[in-house]
Amino acid sequence: MAQNKEHIVMFPFMAQGHIIPFLALAQLLEQKKGCTITLINTPLNIKKLSSSLSPSSSIRLLEIPFKSSDHGLPPDAENTNALTRHLFFKLVQATLSLKPSFKHLMHNLVHERNGQHGRPACIISDIFFGWTTEIAHELGMRHAVFSTAGGFGTACYYSACLHLPHLKAKSDETEFTLPDFPEANKFHFSQLPESLRASNGTDLFALHWKKIFTETVKTDGFIINAVEELDRIGTMYLRKTFNMPVWAIGPLLLSSNGTNRAGREAKLTPEACKNWLDAKTPNSVLYISFGSQNILSKSQMMQLAMALEASGKNFIWVVRPPLEYDIDSEFKEDEWLPKGFVQRIKTQNKGLIVENWAPQVEILSHKATSAFLSHCGWNSVVESLIHGVPLIGWPMASEQFFNAKYLVEQVGVCVEVARGRSCEVRHEDIVATMDLVMNATEKGNQMRRKACEVKEIIKDAMKDEDGYKGSSIKALEDFSYCLMEL
Ligand code: UDP
């Protein structure tokens, strides 16, 4: 019986970029602190997750009822990867309907008689689910919010939502600063997420986040997937603004279990990727992926493919159907890519095209991987940094613009090649950026040196040996100490 182990309930938003770090955090709490974990999610996500957990995992999966069609979403749309981008916010709004069922589930867990897991001590909820704070406190539990973004990105997003800087700008202004976060320096207006820029302060988007953030700040503490030494000004902002503990316990890393990672199957096994990469010289391959939700337009895909051919670089590219096609469209190389592209790169053994989902961590950890062309989603950033891989940034939405700014200005391991979903890109510019980052240029060498230093700082944060504890381990201990103080 696990009666004297701490029992923690975890509740991520229904997106791979949230579920993956939540699972990694669950594994860390299970392995390092001996906690028992119940992870709650909607039926389809739970079904997929149950096939991805290793048989030795004791994480308990619990379904919360949800029917997407009741909310004007397509049937079975329980994860952002099943949605076109304009429905993303609809799913976010639909999660408000989960409150009564969540309350009911928590009530049952608290009053579970002779349960193997014991009374839950704490709820760790997604930052999207600030409303769970009230339920935790009503039932006498602690509550922590886990922001799956880093400290800097969370801080900028919170501040930008609160102050809507574009509404206060004069017509000739192209830059702004965040009034309560001047340490973040200047932002260009193109670095504001589209939905935020379109907000007039009284629209659904603004009202939703205002409500969520009002509830979120009642939590007992913030967990972020970051390393304190690398995210000082972000963590400082969060501590100052919310006046509560902020635990930077990154990097949270989740490997694939076979071809399956957090319920999503890759078409290519990690072994097949490894075999392909093994045949390449060290530091010669560009990995390209835009995360679990973002897609390119057909013309952006064409330009990128042309750039890859013109540069002659080795690459692995995760290709998803372009904007103009259905999200689950089959791969149409003749329509999406230059004529004969796939055959040529196969013959020359220059590139690997992976449809929809690749074993990302395994690719980034391979010595042949030289750089990562990424949308700068926070998990991708962390997975790149822990392996010392510099980035070529193409931020597209939400806090990705802030992540890219952080990587360029504060860490020095990224060059931006494009910005935004609907930007026009030219293959010549992409080639120039690839050359700058991947060749032995002054900038490229400097970025690689910096990426190696960052990798060491991250490794140190997770060190727990011979009486030495890195900053993330100390933060994890402080978090569990605060949990015990019930
Ligand atoms: N991912 C993956 N294979 C892919 C694309 C993405 O394993 O082909 C994983 C990636 O490793 C990361 C997550 O999906 O852990 C994406 O999260 P991120 O925050 O980078 O972006 P999001 O999908 O939330 O925009």
Domains annotated on the chain, with CATH: 7-254+464-484 (3.40.50.2000), 266-459 (3.40.50.2000)
Statement: residue 26 has pLDDT above 50 = yes
pLDDT of residue 238: 97
Instruction: Decide whether any atom of ligand 1 lies within 6 Å of the 20 Cβ.
Output: yes
Q: Can you give the pTM of this predicted structure? A: 0.96
> Chain-wide mean pLDDT for the chain?
94
Distance 18 CA to ligand 1 centre (A): 9
pLDDT of residue 442: 98
Q: Give, using CA atoms, the residue closest to atom 13 of ligand 1.
A: 17
Statement: residue 256 has pLDDT above 80 = no
Instruction: Decide whether any atom of ligand 1 lies within 6 Å of the 313 Cβ.
Output: no
Distance 372 CA to ligand 1 centre (A): 13
What secondary structure does DSSP assign to 245-290, as a single string?
-EEE-PPP----BTTEETTEE-SS-HHHHHHHHHTSPTT-EEEEE-
Instruction: Decide whether any atom of ligand 1 lies within 6 Å of the 16 Cβ.
Output: yes
pLDDT of residue 82: 86
Give the residue-averaged pLDDT of 429-440: 98
Distance 98 CA to ligand 1 centre (A): 25
Instruction: Decide whether any atom of ligand 1 lies within 6 Å of the 377 Cβ.
Output: yes
User: Residue 235's pLDDT band (boundaries 50, 70, 90)?
Assistant: very high
pLDDT of residue 1: 38
User: Residue 4's pLDDT band (boundaries 50, 70, 90)?
Assistant: low
Best mutation site among 380, 396, 406 for ligand 1 pocket (most ligand atoms within 8 Å of CB): 380
Give the residue-averaged pLDDT of 418-428: 96
Q: DSSP H helical segments within 125-281, as ranges?
A: 132-138, 151-163, 165-168, 194-197, 204-216, 232-242, 270-278
Instruction: Decide whether any atom of ligand 1 lies within 6 Å of the 379 Cβ.
Output: yes
User: Residue 458's pLDDT band (boundaries 50, 70, 90)?
Assistant: very high
Q: Is the ipTM of this complex over 0.90?
A: yes
pLDDT of residue 267: 81
Q: How many other CB atoms sit within 10 Å of the CB of residue 427?
A: 18
Q: Give, using CA atoms, the residue closest to atom 24 of ligand 1.
A: 17
Give the residue-averaged pLDDT of 249-273: 84
H/E element holding 414? strand 414-416
Instruction: Decide whether any atom of ligand 1 lies within 6 Å of the 251 Cβ.
Output: no
H/E element holding 107? helix 99-110
Q: 26: which 2 tokens?
A: 């669950």
* 46-83: burial string, b at 16+ Cβ within 10 Å, e else: bebbeebbeeeeebbbeebebebeebebeeebbbbbbb
Statement: residue 443 has pLDDT above 60 = yes
**Is 64 or 111 the better-scoring residue by pLDDT?**
64
* 160-178: burial string, b at 16+ Cβ within 10 Å, e else: bbbbbbbeeeeeeeeebeb
Q: How many other CB atoms sit within 10 Å of the CB of residue 408?
A: 16
Give the residue-averaged pLDDT of 224-253: 96
Statement: residue 399 has pLDDT above 70 = yes
pLDDT of residue 3: 47
User: Residue 349's pLDDT band (boundaries 50, 70, 90)?
Assistant: very high
Q: How many other CB atoms sit within 10 Å of the CB of residue 34?
A: 12
Atom of ligand 1 lying closest to residue 376 CA: 20
Statement: residue 225 has pLDDT above 90 = yes
Percent of the chain at pLDDT above 70? 98
* 322-349: burial string, b at 16+ Cβ within 10 Å, e else: bbeeebeeeeeeeebbbeebbeebeeee
User: Residue 485's pLDDT band (boundaries 50, 70, 90)?
Assistant: low
Statement: residue 258 has pLDDT above 80 = no
Statement: residue 314 has pLDDT above 50 = yes
Statement: residue 262 has pLDDT above 80 = no
* 131-147: burial string, b at 16+ Cβ within 10 Å, e else: bbbebbeebebbbbbbb
Percent of the chain at pLDDT above 90? 85
Q: 141: which 2 tokens?
A: 């539990």
Atom of ligand 1 lying closest to residue 261 CA: 7
Distance 380 CA to ligand 1 centre (A): 6
User: Residue 469's pLDDT band (boundaries 50, 70, 90)?
Assistant: very high
Instruction: Decide whether any atom of ligand 1 lies within 6 Å of the 79 Cβ.
Output: no
Give the residue-averaged pLDDT of 93-101: 97
Statement: residue 486 has pLDDT above 70 = no
Is the distance from CB of 196 to CB of 399 less than 8 angstroms?
Answer: no
Statement: residue 480 has pLDDT above 50 = yes
